Amino acid sequence: MVPDSDFPEPQRSDEAYFDPPERGREGFFDARLLRQRLTVLPNRSPLIFGTDDFVAGAMRAMQDQHRGCVLVSSDGTPGGQLAGIFTERDVLNKIIGQGRNPALVKLSEVMIADPEALPSDASVAWVLNKMSVGGFRHVPFVDDQGRIAFVVSVRDVVQFLVEAFPNEVLNLPPEFGAFHEPKRDGA
């Protein structure tokens, strides 16, 4: 096993990462990225509210900060225990879809209580597992005492992958299918 990892020891040494790719392996996904700890992912401090806070305030913060969720702690502080998560899906399905006034609804009434969370030392593979298997766009992380540490969004994972494969992602033609042969000078 790789130290601090859920994966078996890779067959090649770490120095091999810097070797030229094997013939026929160019452009392939490097599974070692999945073993990386979450510290490689971009993250921002989560928006944290209390169970007795009103949905309108959470919605306003999500909109102002361009976030897809708020985490709800037991006492409304960053050091509190994770009590729930309230997402943009909840806004659509539990507030707008039901014609409720967000200024009159408490987060405790519409949040997802006791959401699945991962320990803060989990790997990128665990984030992808929760997102894929659970259908989550946001995964909260907690410390060993269940206190909120941070949250990872699909956008964070996408940004990580773009940064890992900048040539393959950012050097595409302006439109799909618009491949242009280089112009050749001469005869």
pLDDT at position 96: 96
Q: Which sequence spans correspond to the domains of the chain?
A: 46-162
pLDDT at position 165: 86
Q: If we measure between CA atoms, which residue out of 122, 149, 154 comes closest to residue 138?
A: 154
pLDDT at position 59: 98
pLDDT at position 42: 85
Contact 68, 62 (CB under 8 A): yes
pLDDT at position 181: 63
pLDDT at position 8: 47
d(CA 127, CA 137): 10
pLDDT at position 175: 84
d(CA 61, CA 121): 27
DSSP H helix total and E strand total for the chain: 6, 7
- 112 three-state secondary structure: strand
**pLDDT tens, residue order, the chain (187 aa):** 444 545 444 444 555 545 555 544 455 677 888 899 988 888 778 999 999 999 999 999 999 999 999 999 989 998 899 999 999 999 999 999 999 999 999 999 999 999 999 998 999 999 999 999 999 999 999 999 999 999 999 999 999 989 888 888 888 888 887 766 666 676 6
pLDDT at position 24: 47
pLDDT at position 25: 46
d(CA 141, CA 82): 9
CATH superfamily of 46-162: CBS-domain (3.10.580.10)
